[in-house]
Amino acid sequence: MPMKRYSAFAIAREAMRNHTGWDRAWARAEPKARYDAIIVGAGGHGLATAYYLGKNFGITNVAVLEKGWLGGGNTGRNTTIIRSNYLQDPSAAIYEKSRSLYETMSQDLNYNVMFSPRGVIMLAQTHHEVRGYKRTAHANALQGVTTEWIEPARVKELCPIMNIDGPRYPVLGGLWQARGGTARHDAVAWGYARACSAMGMDIIQQCEVTAVRQENGKVVGVDTSKGPIDCDKLGMVVAGHSGVLAQMAGFRLPIESVALQALVSEPIKPCMDIVVMANTVHGYLSQSDKGEMVIGGGTDGYNNYTQRGSFHHIEETVRALVETFPMISRLKMLRQWGGIVDVTGDRSPILSKTPVEGIFVNCGWGTGGFKATPGSGWAMAELMAKGHSPLTDEFSMFRFREGKFIDESVAAGVAH
C-alpha cells in the first residue's frame, strides 16, 4: 500500500487544510488463505521480524497475527530503556546491534520513535558490583561496546538528585553507557507496523491463533479466530505466551512466565536527564518527556499471566530507591501496571529453530526485551530466511541440554 511520507512539509500542508488529509498509519487487513511466512505476535519483536524479512530478504508475503491490539503486550508496558552493556559476547553482539539500529530507526522507518541517547548508568552499590561492572567495562571494550567505569563524583555530576552517601547502599561508582537511553515504545511498534504495511504485509489484529497445523513434522499453517491460514514458515514471537503457543505446536520451552511491574509518578519538572539502574536494590529510574518518574521494579516469584503483579513488590522497589533518590519520597505515584515476561534459566533469550520444521521461536527476553526490539527482529528475520544467523547461533533453545548457557543471570548485566 503506497503511503504518504511524514515530513515537516506534510505537517505544514495538513495544518493548512485542517488535518483532513492524514491517512491511517497502517492498513486494516483480513487474512488471506496463504502466506510465505506468518509471524504470531504484533509486538515490537514480531513487527521488527516482519519488517526485516521484507527489507533485508525481500519476503513480503507475510502476515503478522495479533490476538489483542498491536503493541498492547510488553511493548507498551516496559520502561523503554535501551542499553547494550552486557557481559557475554553473544548478548553484547545482539544488544549492540539493536542499540545501533535505534540510532537511525526514526529515519529508517520515517517514524519518530523519539530515540533519546541520554546515557545509562548501572549503579554499583556493593563491592561485588564494583568488581562486576569493572569486568563488564573491560569485556565491553573487547566487544566494541562503548562503556566506561565512572567514580562516584562523576555519578553525582551526571545525576545531581542522587544521594551517593547513603548509609546502607552508598554509591561506589557505576558503569556508564553514554549512548544508551530511551525511546518511545509505542512508536517503535507503530513505526514498524506502518513500514510493514507499506511493503504490502498484512497486520491482522484481534486474530488469535488456536492451533498449529503440521504434516510430516513440518508446519503447514495455523487455525485462528478468523479461520485457517496456510504458511510455509511460522515465527512465534509472543513473549509471555510462548509456552501456550509451543504447547499447540507440540513442544516445550525452557521458559516460565512471571509478572514484571513498573509504575510512574505524577509529572514533575525536569530533574534527571539520564537513566539510572540500581540492581542491588532492584529498581530503575528515568524521567519521561511528560515529566513522570518512570520506575521499574522486580518480578513476582511465581508463574502468573495476569498482567498485574503483587503490590508488595512496588513497596519494596520504591522503599529501596528512596535512600538513593530521597526526593521521590515526596512524590505521588500515578499509575502501576504489569506485563508477563518469559524468563529462561540463564536469563538469555531464545532465537531458534524448533523440533517442528518451519517453526521458529523468538522468546525468553524476560525482563529486558524492549532494548532488543530491532536487533531481535533483524536476527530473527535472518534466521527465518536463511536457516541460521550469526546473531542467533548461540541462542538456540537446545543450548540448555548441551550446557552452553549464556549466563547473564549472575553477570549483573541484567537487572533481575
* Chain positions contacting another protein, by CB under 8 A: 241, 243-244, 247, 252-257, 300-306, 310-312, 345, 400-401
Supply the minimum distance, in Å, between the C-beta of residue 273 and another protein. Answer: 36
* Closer residue to another protein in complex, CB, 216/306: 306
What is the H or E stretch that residue 248 is in? helix 242-249
On whether the CB atoms of residues 342 and 242 are closer than 8 A, the answer is yes
Closest by CA position to 41, among listed 256, 196, 213, 270 = 196
Nearer to another protein, 22 or 251 (CB): 251
Q: How near is the Cβ of 310 to another protein at its closest, in Å?
A: 6
203 or 406, CB closer to another protein?
Answer: 406
Q: Where are the beta strands (DSSP E) in 30-75?
A: 34-40, 62-65
Q: How far is the CB of 119 from another protein (least distance, A)?
A: 36
Q: Which three cell numbers stand for residue 138?
A: 573491560
- Please state the closest distance from residue 413 (CB atom) to another protein, in A: 21
CA distances from 85 to 41, 58, 245 (A): 27, 32, 31
Instruction: Give the residue with the Cβ less far from another protein, 6 or 400.
Output: 400
Look-up: residue for cell 532492584?
A: 282
Q: How far is the CB of 246 from another protein (least distance, A)?
A: 9
Return the number of the residue (96 or 346) whose C-beta is nearest another protein.
346
224-238 in b/e form (b: 16+ CB < 10 A) is beeeebebbbbbbbb
In the complex with another protein, which residue's Cβ is closer, 43 or 374? Answer: 43
CB 278 to another protein: min, Å: 22
CB of 348 to another protein, least distance (A): 13
**C-beta closer to another protein: residue 43 or 243:** 243
For residue 405, the minimal CB distance to another protein (Å) is: 10
As measured in angstroms, the least distance from the Cβ of 332 to another protein is 22
Residue 2 or 301 having the CB closest to another protein? 301
Distances, alpha carbon 184 to alpha carbons 213, 290, 331, in Å: 37, 12, 23
What is the nearest approach in angstroms of another protein to the Cβ of residue 255?
A: 6
CA R_g for the chain:
21
By beta-carbon proximity to another protein, the closer residue of 303 and 329 is 303
Q: Are 371 and 81 in contact (CB under 8 A)?
A: yes
Question: CB 397 → another protein: shortest distance, Å?
Answer: 10
Taken in order 235, 238, 241, 243, the sign of the CA dihedral is: positive
Distances in whole angstroms, Cα of residue 107 to Cα of each of 24, 104, 389: 20, 5, 25
Selection from 226, 192, 174 nearest residue 381 by Cα: 192
List Cβ neighbours of 371 (8 Å cut-off, separation of 6 or more): 81, 82, 83, 84, 95, 98, 99
Closer CB to another protein, residue 232 or residue 407?
A: 407
Q: What's the CA angle centered on 80, arms 395 and 345, to 5 degrees?
A: 30
End-to-end CA distance of the chain: 42
256: left (phi over 0), alpha (psi -120 to 50) or beta: beta
Using CA atoms, how far residue 70 sits from 178, 193, 280, in Å, is: 31, 8, 34
Tell me how far apart the alpha carbons of residues 254 and 257 are, in angstroms, rounded to a whole number: 10
Quick one: 146 or 307, whose CB is closer to another protein?
307
